[in-house]
Amino acid sequence: MKKIIVSKEEKDGTVHFTFRFKTLGQFLDEGDPTPLPGKELTEEAEDALAGHLDEYRVRKPVSLAIELPEKDLADTSSSLITEAVRHHFGFRHDDLTHDLKIARREGTYSLLLMAGNIALLLLFIFYVTVNEIPLESVKVLIIVGFLTIMNWATIWDTYEHFVYEYRNLARKRRIYRKITKIPVTIRGY
């Protein structure tokens, strides 16, 4: 297991995070042939940084210190690693912007489907009422039951989409944007 040691200290209204990685390879993706500062962070590093910042409100002032072994920093410029962090999260921010556009479109489709299903149910109830068809009829009960289930499913899907999925994507995007702007310090240990 690749353990990342994380410590935090709140001082003067700012949260100071320190992330200690065992190797530079645990922090920067060794499989990415791109030179610094274009090299990507590992998924583990991305999740650790963004996940711990998610503990606080996005507007809360934060600073990051990333600790790497001295031997790994001997051949690498700290400023290039700092730029790699900003570059990585800037790129991921753009990915999430794209994902949000798609999610917004899919949410609109969900809303339209929900409205269509509600309209179908209301039209059927209106039809049954106007034609004085007994509500106890097996056919009416089956159709009303089916339309009710359809409505329940589309209303729940739309609710889940906007209240959970879309909101979480938007928050993650704000956190990634924040990481591109906050102070990031690279130091050896």
Residues 145 and 104 in one domain: yes
Shared-domain flag, residues 87 and 156: no
| pLDDT computed for residue 162 by the predictor | 87
| 136 band by pLDDT with thresholds 50, 70 and 90 | confident
Examine the domain organization and report whether 184 and 164 are in the same domain. no
**Structure pTM?**
0.80
Residue 109 binned pLDDT confidence (cut-offs 50, 70, 90): very high
The residue to which tokens 């704000």 are assigned? 174
Q: Does 23 share its domain with 62?
A: yes
Same domain, 64 and 126: no
Same domain, 65 and 138: no
pLDDT the model gives residue 83: 97
1 pLDDT higher than 80: no
Percent residues over pLDDT 90 in the chain: 91
My answer on whether 70 and 58 are in the same domain is yes
Split into its structural domains, the chain has a count of 2
Q: What is the pLDDT of residue 26?
A: 95
What residue numbers bound the domain in which 151 lies?
Answer: 95-174
